[in-house]
Amino acid sequence: MNTLETIKLFEGLQIRYKWDAESERFFFSVVDIVGVLTEQTTPRGATFYWSKLKERLKKEGADEVLTNCQQLKLTAPDGKQRLTDVADTEGVLRIIQSIPSKKVEPLKRWLASVGALRIDQMIDPELSIDQAIQDYRRKGYSEDWINQRIKTIEIRKGLTDEWKRSGIENESDYAGLTDLMSKIWSGMSTREYKDYKGLTKENLRDNMTNVELMLNGLAEAAATQLSEERNPQGYNEIAFGRS
Protein backbone atom coordinates (compact mmCIF):
# COMPACT_ATOMS: atom_id res chain seq x y z
CA MET A 1 0.00 0.00 0.00
CA ASN A 2 1.59 3.27 -1.16
CA THR A 3 0.39 5.62 1.59
CA LEU A 4 1.04 9.12 2.83
CA GLU A 5 0.39 9.72 6.53
CA THR A 6 -0.86 13.03 7.84
CA ILE A 7 -2.92 14.52 10.66
CA LYS A 8 -6.08 16.60 10.47
CA LEU A 9 -7.78 18.48 13.27
CA PHE A 10 -11.44 18.07 14.17
CA GLU A 11 -12.57 20.60 16.77
CA GLY A 12 -8.94 20.94 17.88
CA LEU A 13 -8.40 17.18 18.23
CA GLN A 14 -5.98 15.18 16.09
CA ILE A 15 -7.20 12.47 13.74
CA ARG A 16 -4.50 10.47 11.98
CA TYR A 17 -5.16 9.19 8.50
CA LYS A 18 -3.41 7.93 5.41
CA TRP A 19 -4.18 8.49 1.76
CA ASP A 20 -3.65 5.35 -0.32
CA ALA A 21 -2.75 6.46 -3.84
CA GLU A 22 -3.36 3.10 -5.51
CA SER A 23 -6.83 2.41 -4.14
CA GLU A 24 -7.59 6.16 -3.99
CA ARG A 25 -9.01 5.92 -0.47
CA PHE A 26 -8.46 7.57 2.88
CA PHE A 27 -7.86 5.31 5.90
CA PHE A 28 -8.61 6.91 9.28
CA SER A 29 -7.43 5.85 12.73
CA VAL A 30 -10.47 4.25 14.35
CA VAL A 31 -9.14 4.94 17.85
CA ASP A 32 -8.82 8.64 17.06
CA ILE A 33 -12.36 8.73 15.67
CA VAL A 34 -13.71 6.92 18.74
CA GLY A 35 -11.77 9.25 21.03
CA VAL A 36 -13.33 12.31 19.40
CA LEU A 37 -16.88 10.96 19.57
CA THR A 38 -16.63 9.68 23.15
CA GLU A 39 -14.58 12.63 24.37
CA GLN A 40 -11.91 10.34 25.74
CA THR A 41 -8.98 12.41 26.95
CA THR A 42 -6.32 9.72 26.60
CA PRO A 43 -5.40 7.22 23.85
CA ARG A 44 -5.79 4.43 26.41
CA GLY A 45 -9.38 5.44 27.12
CA ALA A 46 -10.26 5.55 23.42
CA THR A 47 -8.57 2.20 22.84
CA PHE A 48 -10.54 0.62 25.70
CA TYR A 49 -13.83 2.01 24.35
CA TRP A 50 -13.02 0.69 20.84
CA SER A 51 -12.18 -2.72 22.29
CA LYS A 52 -15.55 -2.90 24.04
CA LEU A 53 -17.34 -1.62 20.93
CA LYS A 54 -15.76 -4.38 18.84
CA GLU A 55 -17.04 -6.98 21.31
CA ARG A 56 -20.53 -5.50 21.07
CA LEU A 57 -20.48 -5.39 17.27
CA LYS A 58 -19.42 -9.05 17.17
CA LYS A 59 -22.32 -10.02 19.43
CA GLU A 60 -24.71 -8.04 17.21
CA GLY A 61 -23.44 -9.88 14.15
CA ALA A 62 -21.95 -6.76 12.55
CA ASP A 63 -18.94 -8.72 11.31
CA GLU A 64 -18.74 -6.76 8.05
CA VAL A 65 -17.87 -3.57 9.92
CA LEU A 66 -14.95 -5.27 11.68
CA THR A 67 -13.84 -7.20 8.60
CA ASN A 68 -13.45 -3.97 6.66
CA CYS A 69 -11.07 -2.62 9.30
CA GLN A 70 -7.40 -2.98 8.53
CA GLN A 71 -4.19 -2.33 10.42
CA LEU A 72 -1.60 0.19 9.31
CA LYS A 73 1.44 1.61 11.05
CA LEU A 74 0.70 5.12 12.29
CA THR A 75 2.79 7.43 14.42
CA ALA A 76 1.78 7.03 18.07
CA PRO A 77 1.89 9.86 20.65
CA ASP A 78 5.33 8.61 21.75
CA GLY A 79 6.63 9.10 18.21
CA LYS A 80 6.91 5.39 17.40
CA GLN A 81 5.24 3.64 14.49
CA ARG A 82 2.59 1.25 15.81
CA LEU A 83 0.00 -0.94 14.12
CA THR A 84 -3.35 0.80 14.42
CA ASP A 85 -6.89 -0.17 13.42
CA VAL A 86 -7.96 1.93 10.44
CA ALA A 87 -11.03 2.08 8.23
CA ASP A 88 -11.88 3.86 5.01
CA THR A 89 -14.56 6.54 4.87
CA GLU A 90 -17.37 4.02 4.41
CA GLY A 91 -16.11 1.90 7.30
CA VAL A 92 -15.78 4.90 9.58
CA LEU A 93 -19.34 6.02 8.79
CA ARG A 94 -20.62 2.58 9.81
CA ILE A 95 -18.62 2.60 13.03
CA ILE A 96 -19.74 6.05 14.17
CA GLN A 97 -23.37 5.05 13.70
CA SER A 98 -22.81 2.65 16.62
CA ILE A 99 -21.58 5.40 18.95
CA PRO A 100 -24.11 7.69 20.66
CA SER A 101 -22.61 11.16 20.40
CA LYS A 102 -23.68 14.71 19.59
CA LYS A 103 -20.58 14.98 17.44
CA VAL A 104 -21.62 12.33 14.90
CA GLU A 105 -23.14 14.76 12.39
CA PRO A 106 -20.29 17.32 12.62
CA LEU A 107 -17.82 14.46 12.15
CA LYS A 108 -19.71 13.26 9.06
CA ARG A 109 -19.37 16.76 7.58
CA TRP A 110 -15.69 16.77 8.48
CA LEU A 111 -15.16 13.47 6.67
CA ALA A 112 -16.87 14.93 3.61
CA SER A 113 -14.56 17.95 3.71
CA VAL A 114 -11.49 15.72 3.91
CA GLY A 115 -12.72 13.83 0.87
CA ALA A 116 -13.11 17.13 -0.95
CA LEU A 117 -9.33 17.53 -0.81
CA ARG A 118 -9.15 15.04 -3.69
CA ILE A 119 -12.17 16.21 -5.66
CA ASP A 120 -10.14 18.47 -7.96
CA GLN A 121 -7.79 15.59 -8.75
CA MET A 122 -10.72 13.27 -9.46
CA ILE A 123 -12.27 15.81 -11.84
CA ASP A 124 -8.96 16.54 -13.55
CA PRO A 125 -6.67 13.46 -13.42
CA GLU A 126 -3.75 15.59 -14.64
CA LEU A 127 -3.64 17.24 -11.22
CA SER A 128 -3.18 13.86 -9.53
CA ILE A 129 -0.52 12.88 -12.04
CA ASP A 130 1.29 16.19 -11.56
CA GLN A 131 1.34 15.57 -7.79
CA ALA A 132 2.74 12.07 -8.32
CA ILE A 133 5.48 13.44 -10.58
CA GLN A 134 6.48 15.98 -7.94
CA ASP A 135 6.55 13.27 -5.24
CA TYR A 136 8.75 10.97 -7.34
CA ARG A 137 11.13 13.81 -8.17
CA ARG A 138 11.52 14.58 -4.48
CA LYS A 139 12.42 10.92 -3.94
CA GLY A 140 15.19 11.15 -6.55
CA TYR A 141 13.74 9.03 -9.37
CA SER A 142 14.98 9.71 -12.91
CA GLU A 143 12.74 11.45 -15.44
CA ASP A 144 12.70 8.35 -17.67
CA TRP A 145 11.56 6.17 -14.76
CA ILE A 146 8.92 8.71 -13.71
CA ASN A 147 7.49 8.83 -17.24
CA GLN A 148 7.26 5.03 -17.34
CA ARG A 149 5.74 4.88 -13.85
CA ILE A 150 3.05 7.43 -14.73
CA LYS A 151 2.14 5.37 -17.79
CA THR A 152 1.68 2.28 -15.62
CA ILE A 153 -0.59 4.22 -13.24
CA GLU A 154 -2.82 5.16 -16.16
CA ILE A 155 -2.80 1.59 -17.50
CA ARG A 156 -3.56 0.13 -14.06
CA LYS A 157 -6.49 2.51 -13.60
CA GLY A 158 -7.89 1.42 -16.96
CA LEU A 159 -7.61 -2.24 -15.96
CA THR A 160 -9.23 -1.84 -12.54
CA ASP A 161 -12.05 0.18 -14.12
CA GLU A 162 -12.59 -2.68 -16.57
CA TRP A 163 -12.59 -5.23 -13.73
CA LYS A 164 -15.14 -3.13 -11.87
CA ARG A 165 -17.33 -3.02 -14.99
CA SER A 166 -17.06 -6.80 -15.14
CA GLY A 167 -18.45 -7.17 -11.64
CA ILE A 168 -15.37 -7.20 -9.41
CA GLU A 169 -16.08 -5.55 -6.06
CA ASN A 170 -14.13 -7.31 -3.30
CA GLU A 171 -10.58 -6.27 -2.49
CA SER A 172 -9.58 -9.94 -2.28
CA ASP A 173 -10.71 -10.44 -5.89
CA TYR A 174 -8.71 -7.42 -7.06
CA ALA A 175 -5.70 -8.82 -5.20
CA GLY A 176 -6.20 -12.27 -6.74
CA LEU A 177 -6.43 -10.88 -10.26
CA THR A 178 -3.38 -8.70 -9.62
CA ASP A 179 -1.44 -11.78 -8.54
CA LEU A 180 -2.54 -13.51 -11.72
CA MET A 181 -1.31 -10.59 -13.83
CA SER A 182 2.00 -10.66 -12.01
CA LYS A 183 2.44 -14.39 -12.64
CA ILE A 184 1.63 -13.99 -16.32
CA TRP A 185 4.55 -11.68 -17.05
CA SER A 186 7.01 -12.41 -14.22
CA GLY A 187 6.20 -15.96 -13.10
CA MET A 188 5.76 -14.74 -9.51
CA SER A 189 2.86 -13.60 -7.38
CA THR A 190 2.96 -10.11 -5.90
CA ARG A 191 4.16 -11.47 -2.54
CA GLU A 192 6.78 -13.66 -4.20
CA TYR A 193 7.99 -10.70 -6.24
CA LYS A 194 8.27 -8.58 -3.10
CA ASP A 195 10.26 -11.33 -1.40
CA TYR A 196 12.48 -11.57 -4.48
CA LYS A 197 13.22 -7.85 -4.20
CA GLY A 198 13.59 -7.92 -0.42
CA LEU A 199 10.56 -5.69 0.16
CA THR A 200 8.13 -5.74 3.07
CA LYS A 201 5.64 -2.86 3.22
CA GLU A 202 7.17 -0.90 0.32
CA ASN A 203 5.22 -0.39 -2.89
CA LEU A 204 6.33 -3.01 -5.42
CA ARG A 205 5.88 -0.88 -8.52
CA ASP A 206 7.87 1.95 -7.00
CA ASN A 207 10.76 -0.51 -6.77
CA MET A 208 10.57 -1.84 -10.33
CA THR A 209 13.06 -1.01 -13.05
CA ASN A 210 12.01 0.68 -16.28
CA VAL A 211 11.94 -2.70 -18.04
CA GLU A 212 9.84 -4.30 -15.30
CA LEU A 213 7.37 -1.42 -15.43
CA MET A 214 7.18 -1.76 -19.20
CA LEU A 215 6.48 -5.51 -19.07
CA ASN A 216 3.93 -5.10 -16.30
CA GLY A 217 2.19 -2.31 -18.18
CA LEU A 218 2.11 -4.36 -21.39
CA ALA A 219 0.48 -7.30 -19.57
CA GLU A 220 -2.17 -5.10 -17.96
CA ALA A 221 -2.90 -3.20 -21.17
CA ALA A 222 -3.38 -6.50 -23.01
CA ALA A 223 -5.65 -7.78 -20.23
CA THR A 224 -7.77 -4.64 -20.48
CA GLN A 225 -8.16 -5.01 -24.24
CA LEU A 226 -9.06 -8.71 -24.00
CA SER A 227 -11.65 -8.00 -21.32
CA GLU A 228 -13.25 -5.28 -23.42
CA GLU A 229 -13.48 -7.69 -26.36
CA ARG A 230 -14.71 -10.78 -24.45
CA ASN A 231 -16.88 -8.99 -21.85
CA PRO A 232 -16.38 -11.50 -18.98
CA GLN A 233 -18.61 -11.29 -15.93
CA GLY A 234 -17.28 -12.12 -12.50
CA TYR A 235 -13.98 -13.34 -11.12
CA ASN A 236 -13.94 -16.83 -12.64
CA GLU A 237 -14.66 -15.65 -16.17
CA ILE A 238 -11.95 -12.99 -15.93
CA ALA A 239 -9.34 -15.27 -14.37
CA PHE A 240 -10.13 -18.63 -15.99
CA GLY A 241 -12.44 -17.87 -18.89
CA ARG A 242 -15.34 -19.77 -17.30
CA SER A 243 -18.35 -19.02 -15.11
pLDDT at position 220: 94
Max avg pLDDT among 47-56, 58-67, 215-224: 215-224
Ordered by start, the domain boundaries in the chain are 3-119, 124-240
Average pLDDT of the chain?
Answer: 83
Q: Which residue has the higher pLDDT, 102 or 117?
A: 102
Q: Per residue in 104-128, pLDDT tens?
A: 888 887 777 666 544 344 334 444 6
Nearest by Cα to 99 from 11, 38, 15: 38
Q: Do 185 and 216 form a contact (C-beta atoms < 8 A)?
A: yes
Model confidence pTM above 0.75: no
- Can you tell me the distance from the alpha carbon of 33 to that of 50, in angstroms, rounded to the nearest whole number? 10
Q: Per residue in 175-195, pLDDT tens?
A: 889 989 999 999 998 889 988
Q: What's the CATH number of domain 3-119, 3.40.50, 2.60.40, 3.10.260, 3.40.1130?
A: 3.10.260
pLDDT band per the 50, 70, 90 thresholds, residue 238? very high
Of all residues in the chain, what percent carry a pLDDT higher than 90? 30
In terms of C-beta density within 10 A (0-12 exposed, 13-18 middle, 19 or more buried), how is residue 222 classed?
middle
Q: Is 12 left (phi over 0), alpha (psi -120 to 50) or beta?
A: left
Q: Phi and psi for 77 in degrees, rounded to 5?
A: -55, -25
Which strand ranges, in their side-by-side order, compose the sheet holding 70-75? 3-10, 13-20, 25-29, 81-88, 70-75
What residue type is 158 in one-letter code? Answer: G
The number of angstroms, rounded, from the C-alpha of 19 to the middle of its chain's C-alpha atoms is: 7
